[in-house]
Structure 1
Amino acid sequence: MESDVWDVARPGRAGPLSLGGFRHRTGGTVDLRVVPHPAITVVLEFGGGKLLVDDGAQHGSFVAGLAPRGVRLRGESLECVEVRLPPLAAAGVGAGPAELDRTVGLTELWGRDADRLRDQLSEAGSWDARFALVEAAFARRLSVVPATDPEVSLAWRRIVRSRGLVRVESLAAECGWSRRRLWDRFRAQVGLPPKRAAKLVRFDHAARRLATGASAADVAAECGYTDQSHLHRDVVAFAGVTPGRLAADAGFAADRSAFA
């Protein structure tokens, strides 16, 4: 699948991970917005240029949790595989949710394994081969992820299935916990309190609808916002741009096409 700026690849078969492959078509300078979504994001870079994350640090491949506002990438000749993991599987990247309140270089977490994987991705002859390498690398790490509280898992599933519209005040009663206990355990294991997580899930659904060309007014009504101004505030808060600019962003469109 292609956009005007990006070649986008998706696995040819269903696998255990949500994966997308990206190559900048011109090989020139990239200024890319990575919009928040309700997943742990791992960007595995293997192109010929340097990749800088928005703070200007030389990250190369990196991990971002649910908390960071829209991450901005700059570099040249960008080629990468993006992995999305459920937040309850954060331990699979070698960090807890609390440690992912910022972007973290993958080498900081994986050491030489990160460099080894980068070399393998660069040498692979196809996207399917790269996806297989990534699946193998994560299979080993995800196999030892500790179990999470079933109550937290239940609360997260309810938030996702409702597209962020569940009344979070009712979640504690449904889980059989006190409100404080659920809030504390949820934040420790997901990385956000339940109300913020619900807002992120609702925003993600709204952003997907905007990417299809739906009007801001229709998206606001469909996604449970009070009005169009409410949607505008949420999009700016999470993505740093207006709904119109988000919908027109080429990098955002490519990202959505990979994870449709």
Structure 2
Amino acid sequence: MYAERPFPGLACVWRRTTTSAVPGLVVPDGCTDIIYAAGTGEVFVAGPDTVGHVTRTRPGTLFGVRFGPGVGPSAFGVPAVELRDQRVALSELWGPSARLEEALGTASDPCSVLASAALARLRETPPDPAVDAIASFSGNVGDLAWTLGLSTRQLHRRSLAAFGYGPKVLHRVLRFDRAVKLAWDGVPFADVAHRTGYADQAHLSREVRELAGVPLGQLIRS
């Protein structure tokens, strides 16, 4: 069972409970998460993914906070590219975390504890002010760099630091994420392709296979 809810300053907070060790598929969405495993007490960071990968979740409950694209690395204190396709213990980024782990272990709502800690870090080190412009761009990277007053090389470095991807890969991942969400909502695949800027449904299908590793129909059933 998975459920998420909005939380001011974050993309969302979420909770997932499983009763058996079942495989799951995690696909790229441009986001980063802090995750607390209630059964083991582990607290770790899930970096931005480039491709889908299968995970096997132990029985129990996971609590998570999700940062929007380009936001999390400011809280973690490392460039996003260093976390790309990685799962890293939070203590490796924030140092000893016994106080946080104790608070999580006794909290009635661990998501709120994680969110408070995450937002405190963001207040200390806000995200790159160019994040929104980079994430919302569509079109020529050179035009985006000119708009931001950067060289294309500077833009690429700042994009890697904030998102873990260069601008073109970021656009590809975010478009894929929008398409998957529409498909989850029951929008016909041809309409999904049109509304998210793919050339046609075949183009959408190729992108989903490359980024998720499975067809779109299978992905939304998993």
Same fold (TM over 0.5): yes
Name the counterpart of 1:253.
none
Distance verdict in 2 for CA 1:189–1:92, change over 3 Å: same
Mapped contact 1:36–1:69 kept (Cα < 8 A)? yes
> For residues 51 and 20 of structure 2, what CA distance do their matches in structure 1 show?
25
Name the counterpart of 2:76.
93
> For residues 38 and 113 of structure 2, what CA distance do their matches in structure 1 show?
13
Mapped contact 2:104–2:110 kept (Cα < 8 A)? yes
Where does 1:186-201 land on structure 2 (aligned, <5 Å)?
186-201=159-174
Q: Aligned letter for 1:138?
A: A
Identity of matched residues, %: 32
Name the counterpart of 2:27.
35
TM-superposed CA distance for 1:154, in Å, is 5.0
Name the counterpart of 1:8.
3
Distance verdict in 2 for CA 1:19–1:191, change over 3 Å: same
Q: What CA deviation, in whole Å up to 9, does each residue of 1:217-257 have, x standing for no partner?
A: 221121111122211121122222110111111xxxxxxxx
Runs of 4+ off more than 4 Å? none
Distance verdict in 2 for CA 1:131–1:147, change over 3 Å: closer
Where does 1:119-158 land on structure 2 (aligned, <5 Å)?
119-125=102-108, 129-145=109-125, 148=128, 150=129, 152-158=130-136
SS in 2 for 1:31: strand
TM-superposed CA distance for 1:76, in Å, is 2.3
> For residues 140 and 154 of structure 1, what CA distance do their matches in structure 2 show?
21
Name the counterpart of 2:60.
78
Q: What CA deviation, in whole Å up to 9, does each residue of 1:170-190 have, x standing for no partner?
A: 212222323233223322333
Q: Which runs of 5+ in 1 are unaligned?
A: 1-5, 51-59, 160-164, 250-260
Name the counterpart of 1:208.
181
Mapped pair 1:20 → 2:4: no
Mapped contact 2:135–2:170 kept (Cα < 8 A)? no
SS in 1 for 2:124: coil
Aligned alpha-carbon RMSD (Å): 2.5
Mapped contact 1:46–1:79 kept (Cα < 8 A)? yes
Q: TM-score, normalised by structure 1?
A: 0.73
SS in 1 for 2:51: coil
Name the counterpart of 1:53.
none
> For residues 181 and 76 of structure 2, what CA distance do their matches in structure 1 show?
26
2:92 equivalent among 108, 113, 116: 108
SS in 1 for 2:33: strand
Distance verdict in 2 for CA 1:226–1:207, change over 3 Å: same
Residue correspondences, number: 219
